[in-house]
Amino acid sequence: MATRPTVILLGSGDRKPDLLPAARELRPKIEKWVEIVEEDFSYEKDLSDCDAEFAIVLGGDGSILRAAKQMGKNQKPVLGVNLGKLGFLADIHSDSVVAALQHVVAGEFRLVDHLMMRCQVIRDDNLIADQIGLNEAAILGGPPFDIQTIDLYVDGDLATSYRCDGLIISTPVGSTAHNLSTGGPILRKNLQAFVISPISPHTLTVRPVVDRCDRIYEIVASKPNQSTCIVLDGQVLSRLESTDRVRIQRADPVFQLIEIPGKNYYRTLREKLGWGGQIQA
């Protein structure tokens, strides 16, 4: 990093009204250590040509997911400042921003690479949707809430047909999100793998599967209802028809998180998930 690095300041001010006052309060502290060359609190600006050295994202993990989507192929390292609740990615408390920036300017940090996924929807041999994500792609069905029939292909071969409420393919980053709530495993955040987790499968022997990220995964919801959709990082990418193929594979861009001294993966899990180490009477 330069002595006074250039940064982008991002946050979900359009969704969190209390973020803007917090940003105004933090900005003078931030500007003592870095030069803010761009800011966007509604995730509307085109950052494809922005040459800042890294991004400071205010909010929670949802804000970081939006930032990763906005940066697209021009991913910048991210320092996540937690103004939300849980915050696996945004694990710098607002009171610790100055100390964190001091570490960054002094070069006392490391960049941790995180796998991103590319999700495409193909209909009648035409590409109708194409986007990268950081967390997960999920086949979800709305009203009338009937059981979904979902076929999974891996490298062109049929792996299995699920009867379930939905299906999640998650990155390691997303393994502590919806995947975890469905009973899926936690993957170390820099592992190069995807986890496939059915939601409420009709057959009890069906379990989550972890596989390499260099494979091509294709999903077909063969009996969708009018609400069946592919959802990428919490945003609907496309409604699905019976012949649509959802293709998921490793994305070329890599998401990088700035990790400062005193932070490590298992400490984050211990603190965020309440792993106390013993049962309290």
* Nearest Cα residue to 7 out of 40, 47, 29, 38: 38
Query: Helices 19-31 and 97-105 sit at what angle, rounded to 10 degrees?
Result: 40
Nearest Cα neighbor of 112 from 189, 182, 200 is 189
Average pLDDT, the chain: 92
Model confidence over 37-76: pLDDT tens digits?
A: 999 999 999 998 888 999 999 999 999 999 999 999 999 9
Q: pLDDT class for 281, splitting at 50, 70, 90?
A: very low
Greater confidence (245 vs 263) lies with: 245
Percent of the chain with pLDDT over 70: 96
81-95, 227-241, 250-264 — most confident range: 227-241
185 pLDDT exceeds 50? yes
What pLDDT was estimated at residue 1? 60
Residue type, 232: L
pLDDT of residue 249: 98
Q: Closest Cα partner for 104 from 258, 247, 256?
A: 258
The catalytic site residues sit at: 61
Are 253 and 116 within 8 A, CB to CB?
yes
Q: Over range 220-243, report the average pLDDT.
A: 96
CATH numbers and ranges of domains, the chain: 6-115+254-272 (3.40.50.10330), 117-250 (2.60.200.30)
- Average of per-residue pLDDT across 76-82: 95
DSSP state of 51: -
> Helices marked H in the chain — which ranges?
19-31, 61-71, 97-105, 178-181, 265-272
Closest listed residue to residue 266, CA positions, set 176, 171, 133, 169: 176
What is the predicted pLDDT for the residue at 233?
Answer: 96
